[in-house]
């Protein structure tokens, strides 16, 4: 059975089957609402249910609080229509509804970037391409039917491989295989692209890019694409990790900042070791951002990392003048049975 979904903000409609989430139905028909995890853990796809009934699905308290539920908020990635619906949701401008494809790929290179980060180079079959926006992610499809999400770490380019940064997760079935059993030339299957984390083309002001750990992957792709296009916006990159050995692309980022005058790069260590000899920024990465930019009124922030980092940054940044419409983020969990960006 199909139901009609009306977005009160645009007065436009689309159809949703009872078996699919409202978000999946929208994407299938070329309609794009902001979203990230698709698992009910980040809250990016939050919308207001004006009328109708939904099966709200499963989600975390951090993604949708009890107070928000009482106010009629739902998560589009989890909610399934039980009737015709009217929702109030922000919809992205056209041009970002790319075809979601399921493709095979071959692992052509494995490179250990850090003690717990593996770099993967994936090659698509001859004649096959994946159209995506820098900052988006793919789902690796596992044989048991589950999937694991990873951001693409390189800019879109015809004929190029897909680069992933895979962090080893305790008891993570797929990441354990990557570190202990995956071999070059092994075949994988993936689906994508997904996500709405990409540089907005209609802005020209300075940008803060904030990454936590392997949250650097989509940020790296965004920077590569911006430089390729000759975008002259000022970019301020803050990369937060635990210790010096976790800065697995430090030299490459230093090189980029020397090559491009419009890039400032600030690495931040939360727990520098006594033998690191570290004299740079320490503490939480969002606090380093505020130290340099105490007033965020005229800035855009693109943040990628685990939910606690995103939540802390959003609260602090909005208290320091950042508009909620200028905070774009890719939030992901590290765990045994959740997405592993």
- Tally Cβ neighbours within 10 Å of residue 243: 14
pLDDT of residue 335: 46
Write down the number of H helices and E strands in the chain: 7, 19
Q: Which burial class, exposed, middle or buried, applies to 182 when counting CB atoms under 10 A from its CB (0-12, 13-18, 19+)?
A: middle
Per residue in 138-183, pLDDT tens?
999 998 888 999 999 999 986 789 999 999 988 888 999 999 999 9
Positions of the chain with pLDDT under 50: 95, 335-340
* This prediction's pTM: 0.88
| Residues found in the chain | 341
DSSP code at position 265: E
- Tally Cβ neighbours within 10 Å of residue 219: 28
d(CA 132, CA 198): 10
DSSP code at position 161: P
Task: Assess contact for 135 and 221: CB atoms under 8 A.
Answer: yes
- Which contiguous run of DSSP H or E holds residue 134? none
Bridge-based pairing state of the strands 137-141 and 73-75: unpaired
pLDDT of residue 96: 63
- Write out the two tokens for 172: 């993570």
pLDDT of residue 93: 65
pLDDT of residue 94: 52
pLDDT of residue 340: 46
- Write out the two tokens for 196: 């709405």
pLDDT of residue 192: 94
Q: Which residues contact 66 (CB under 8 A, 6 or more apart)?
A: none
**Axis-axis angle for helices 307-319, 285-292 (nearest 10):** 20
Find the radius of gyration of the CA atoms of the chain: 20
Q: List the alpha helices (DSSP H) in the chain.
A: 22-28, 66-70, 173-180, 216-229, 250-259, 285-292, 307-319
Residue ranges of domains in the chain, CATH in brackets: 2-88 (3.10.20.30), 101-194 (2.40.30.10), 207-331 (3.40.50.80)
């Amino acid at each position: 059975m199909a139901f009609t979904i009306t977005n009160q903000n645009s007065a436009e409609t689309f159809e949703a089957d009872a078996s699919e989430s409202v978000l999946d139905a929208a994407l299938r028909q070329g309609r794009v609402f902001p979203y990230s995890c698709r698992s009910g853990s980040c809250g990016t796809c939050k919308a207001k249910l004006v009328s109708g009934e939904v099966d709200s699905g499963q989600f975390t308290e951090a993604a949708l609080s009890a107070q928000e539920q009482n106010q009629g908020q739902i998560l589009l990635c989890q909610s399934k229509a039980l009737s015709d619906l009217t929702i109030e949701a922000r919809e992205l401008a056209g041009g970002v509804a790319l075809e979601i494809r399921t493709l095979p790929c071959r692992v052509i290179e494995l490179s250990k970037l850090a003690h717990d980060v593996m770099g993967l180079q994936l090659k698509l079959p001859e004649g096959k391409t994946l159209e995506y926006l820098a900052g988006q992610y793919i789902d690796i499809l596992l044989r048991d039917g589950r999937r694991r999400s990873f951001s693409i770490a390189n800019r879109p380019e015809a004929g190029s491989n897909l680069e992933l940064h895979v962090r080893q997760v305790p008891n993570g079935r797929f990441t354990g295989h990557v570190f202990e059993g995956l071999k070059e030339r092994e075949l994988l299957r993936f689906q994508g692209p997904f996500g709405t984390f990409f540089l907005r083309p209609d802005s020209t002001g300075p940008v803060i890019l904030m990454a936590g750990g392997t949250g650097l992957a989509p940020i790296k792709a965004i920077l590569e694409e911006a430089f390729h296009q000759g975008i002259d916006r000022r970019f301020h990159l803050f990369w937060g990790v635990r210790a010096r050995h976790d800065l697995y692309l430090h030299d490459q980022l230093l090189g980029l900042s020397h090559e491009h005058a419009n890039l400032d790069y600030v690495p931040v260590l939360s727990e520098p070791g006594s033998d690191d000899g570290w004299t740079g920024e320490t503490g939480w990465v969002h606090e380093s951002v505020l130290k340099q930019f105490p007033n965020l009124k005229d800035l855009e922030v693109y943040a990628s990392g685990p939910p606690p980092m995103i939540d802390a940054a959003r609260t602090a940044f909005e208290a320091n003048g950042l508009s909620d419409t200028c905070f774009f983020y890719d939030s992901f969990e590290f765990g045994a049975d959740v997405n592993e960006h």
